[in-house]
Structure 1
Amino acid sequence: MKRIYAIFGILLLCWCLGSPQLMAQQKVTGTITAASDNTVLPGASVLVKGTSTGSTTDANGKFSITAPSNATLVFSFIGYKTIEMAVGGKSVINVSLQPTDNALEEVVVVGYGTSLKKDLSGSIATVSAEDIKSLPITSFEQGMQGRVAGVQVMQGNSAPGGAPQVRIRGANTVLGGNEPLYIIDGVPVYNSDLENNSNLNVGTQPSNALASINPNDIVSMEILKDASATAIYGARGANGVVIITTKRGKASDRGKISFEAYYGVQEISNKLKLMNTQDFIKILNERTTNFGGAPRYADPSQYTTNTDWQDFFFRKAPMTNYTLNFSGGSDKNQYSVSGNWFSQEGVIQETNFNRGSVRVNLDNRLNDKFKVATSVTASRSTNNRSLNYVLMNAMSFSPLLSPYDQNGNFSNLNTADTGGENPVEALYKTSDKLTVDRFLGNVLGEYTIANGLTYSVRLAMDNLTQHNDIYVKKGSFIFPSPGATVKENKGTNYVIEHLISYKKAFGQKHRLNATVGYTWQENNTIFFQQSGTGFQFDDFGTYNLGAAAITNPNQSYKNKSTLLSYLGRANYVFDDKYILTLTGRADGSSRFGDNNKWGFFPSGAVAWRLSKENFMKSLTFIDDLKIRTSYGMTGNQEIGLYNSISRFSSVQGVMGSPLVAYVGYVPTSLANPDLKWEINKQFDIGFDLAVLKNRFSLTADYYRKRTEDLLANLPIPGSSGFSTILINSGSIENKGFEVALNTTAIETKNLSWKIGGNISRNETKVLKLAVATRQFFAPNIPSPIDRPVNIIREGDVLSAFWGYKEDGLTENGDIKYKDLNGDGKVDGNDQTILGSPFPNLLYGFNSNLNYKGFTLTVFLQGVAGVKVFNSNDFMIANSMTRISNQLEEVNDRWTPENRNPNAKYPRASTTQLLVSDRFVQDADYLRLKNVLLSYNLPVTKFGLKWLEGAKVYVSGQNLLTFTKYHGYDPEVSQTGSNSLVKGLDRGSYPANKTITVGFNLSLK
Structure 2
Amino acid sequence: MRKYKLLMCLLCLYAPLMLKAQNKTLTGKVTDATDHAIAGASIMVKQSTAGTLTDATGNFTLSVSPSATAIIISATGFRSQTIDIGSNLSFNIKLEEDVAKLDEVVVTGITTNVKRRNLANTVVTISSKQLAGIAPAQTLDGALEGKIPGALINANTGAPGGGTSVKLRGVTSVYGNTQPLYVLDGVFIDNTATSGGLNAVTGAGSGGSPTSNQDNPSSRIADIRPEDIDNIEILKGASAAAIYGSKASAGVIIITTKKGRQGKTSISVSQDLGQIQARKLLGVRQFNADRAASLSSDSATSAALRQQYLDAEAAGAIYNYEKEVYGNKGFARNTVLSMSGGGERTGFYFSAATKDEEGIVKNTGYKNTSLRLNVDHRLSDNIKIGLSTNYINSSADRGLSGNDNAGVSLGIALSSTPSFAQLHPDASGNYPNNQFAASNPLQTIALMKNNESVNRFITGINVEAILQKGTKSTTRFVGRGGVDFYNLQTTALFPGILQFQAVNKGTSIQGATKNLNTNYILSLVNSLTVSNRLSLTTSAGVTQERGDYNNILNVATQVIAGQSNVDQAGALTATQFRAKYQNDGVFAQEEILIADAITVTGGVRFDRSSNNGDVAKYYAYPKAAISWNLTKLGIPENSFLNNLKLRAAYGEATNVPAYGSKFTSAVVSNIGGNPGSLINIQKGDPSIRPERQKEFETGIDFSMLKGRLGFEVTYYSKKINDFLMLGNLPASSGFSTQWLNAGDLRNRGIEVGMNAKPIVSKIITWTSSVNFWFNRSMVTRYTLPPVPQGSFGYVLGSFQIEEGKPATQIVGLNGAGVGVLGDAEPRFQMNTYNEITFRNRLSLRFLMHWKKGGDNINLTSLQNDFGGTSADFDNVTNKTGLPDGIYRITQVGVTAEQFVKDASYLRLREIGLYYSFTTMPVDFVKGLRIGVSLNNYLTFTKYNSYDPEVSNFGTGFSQGVDVDPYPATKRADLHIAVDF
Query: How does the TM-score come out when normalised to structure 2?
Result: 0.86
Structure 2 distance, partners of 1:196, 1:611, is: 57
Per the alignment, in what secondary structure is the counterpart of residue 793 of structure 1? coil
Partner of 1:966: 944
Per the alignment, in what secondary structure is the counterpart of residue 356 of structure 2? strand
Per the alignment, in what secondary structure is the counterpart of residue 318 of structure 2? coil
CA deviation map 1:294-337 (0-9, x unaligned): 86756664441322111221200111111111110111011101
Partner of 1:209: 220
Cα offset for 1:435? 0.7
Q: 1:294 to 1:358 in 2, by over 3 A?
A: closer
Structure 2 distance, partners of 1:702, 1:861, is: 21
CA deviation map 1:646-703 (0-9, x unaligned): 322222221xxxxx53333434543423212111111111111111111111111011
Query: How does the TM-score come out when normalised to structure 1?
Result: 0.84
Structure 1 distance, partners of 2:705, 2:171, is: 38
Superposed, 1:712-751 pairs within 5 Å as: 712-751=725-764
CA deviation map 1:218-241 (0-9, x unaligned): 000001123331111132332111
Partner of 1:70: none
Q: Does 1:606 align with 2:626?
A: yes
Superposed, 1:978-989 pairs within 5 Å as: 978-979=956-957, 981-989=958-966
Structure 1 alignment gaps of length 5 or more: 1-28, 47-59, 66-72, 655-659, 806-817, 820-829
Cα offset for 1:901? 4.4
Structure 1 distance, partners of 2:280, 2:43, is: 52
Per the alignment, in what secondary structure is the counterpart of residue 243 of structure 2? helix
Cα offset for 1:950? 0.7
Per the alignment, in what secondary structure is the counterpart of residue 663 of structure 1? strand
Preserved CA contact (<8 Å) 2:870 2:885: no
Partner of 1:867: 855
Partner of 1:855: 843
Cα offset for 1:164? 1.3
CA deviation map 1:785-817 (0-9, x unaligned): 987622222222224322233xxxxxxxxxxxx
Preserved CA contact (<8 Å) 1:32 1:44: no
Partner of 1:19: none
Partner of 2:453: 435
Preserved CA contact (<8 Å) 2:538 2:590: yes
Q: 1:915 to 1:206 in 2, by over 3 A?
A: farther
Preserved CA contact (<8 Å) 2:412 2:863: no
CA deviation map 1:372-405 (0-9, x unaligned): 1101111010111112221222243121212225
Q: Does 1:929 align with 2:870?
A: no
Cα offset for 1:505? 3.9
Q: 1:912 to 1:902 in 2, by over 3 A?
A: closer
Preserved CA contact (<8 Å) 1:235 1:601: no
Partner of 1:120: 119
Partner of 1:309: 321
Cα offset for 1:194? 3.7
Partner of 2:162: 162
Partner of 2:239: 228
Cα offset for 1:147? 2.5
Per the alignment, in what secondary structure is the counterpart of residue 444 of structure 1? strand
Preserved CA contact (<8 Å) 2:612 2:662: yes
Q: 2:480 aligns with which of 458, 468, 471?
A: 458
Partner of 1:256: 266
Superposed, 1:553-568 pairs within 5 Å as: 554-568=574-588
Residues 788-797 or 624-633, more deviating: 788-797
CA deviation map 1:805-849 (0-9, x unaligned): 3xxxxxxxxxxxx33xxxxxxxxxx12111112323111112211
Cα offset for 1:531? 3.0
Q: 1:975 aligns with which of 929, 953, 957?
A: 953
Q: 1:444 to 1:653 in 2, by over 3 A?
A: same
Residue-pair matches, total:
898
Partner of 2:179: 179
Residues 459-468 or 401-410, more deviating: 401-410
Q: 2:466 aligns with which of 444, 448, 467?
A: 448
Cα offset for 1:244? 0.4
Structure 2 distance, partners of 1:106, 1:908, is: 55
Q: Which amino acid aligns with 1:169?
A: R
Residues 30-39 or 662-671, more deviating: 30-39
Partner of 2:671: 653
Per the alignment, in what secondary structure is the counterpart of residue 249 of structure 2? coil
Cα offset for 1:155? 2.3
Q: Which amino acid aligns with 1:926?
A: L
Cα RMSD of the aligned pairs, angstroms, is 3.1
Structure 2 alignment gaps of length 5 or more: 1-21, 29-39, 51-62, 206-213, 402-408
Partner of 2:572: 551
Superposed, 1:486-525 pairs within 5 Å as: 486-525=510-549
Q: 2:600 aligns with which of 549, 574, 580?
A: 580
Partner of 2:250: 239
Structure 1 distance, partners of 2:310, 2:737, is: 60
CA deviation map 1:88-136 (0-9, x unaligned): xx9x999999877543222224442332222211111100001011221
Preserved CA contact (<8 Å) 2:719 2:746: yes
CA deviation map 1:474-532 (0-9, x unaligned): 12233322011211111111222211122344432123333211112211122222232
Partner of 1:470: 492
Cα offset for 1:77? 8.9
Q: 1:268 to 1:631 in 2, by over 3 A?
A: same
Q: 2:899 aligns with which of 916, 919, 930?
A: 919
Per the alignment, in what secondary structure is the counterpart of residue 930 of structure 1? strand
Partner of 1:266: 276
Per the alignment, in what secondary structure is the counterpart of residue 787 of structure 2? strand
Preserved CA contact (<8 Å) 1:39 1:251: no
Q: 1:893 aligns with which of 876, 883, 905?
A: 876
Partner of 2:150: 150
Preserved CA contact (<8 Å) 1:482 1:534: yes
Q: 1:406 to 1:565 in 2, by over 3 A?
A: closer
Preserved CA contact (<8 Å) 1:44 1:77: no
Superposed, 1:399-414 pairs within 5 Å as: 399-407=419-427, 409-414=429-434
Superposed, 1:86-105 pairs within 5 Å as: 101-102=97-98, 103-105=101-103
Q: 2:802 aligns with which of 790, 793, 799?
A: 793
Residues 329-338 or 225-234, more deviating: 225-234
Residues 926-935 or 455-464, more deviating: 455-464
Structure 2 distance, partners of 1:454, 1:287, is: 79
Per the alignment, in what secondary structure is the counterpart of residue 549 of structure 1? strand
Partner of 1:956: 934
Partner of 2:765: 752
Q: Which amino acid aligns with 1:548?
A: A
Identity %: 23
Partner of 1:630: 649
Cα offset for 1:610? 1.5
Cα offset for 1:885? 3.3
Q: Which amino acid aligns with 2:561?
A: F
Preserved CA contact (<8 Å) 2:283 2:322: no
Q: Which amino acid aligns with 2:514?
A: K
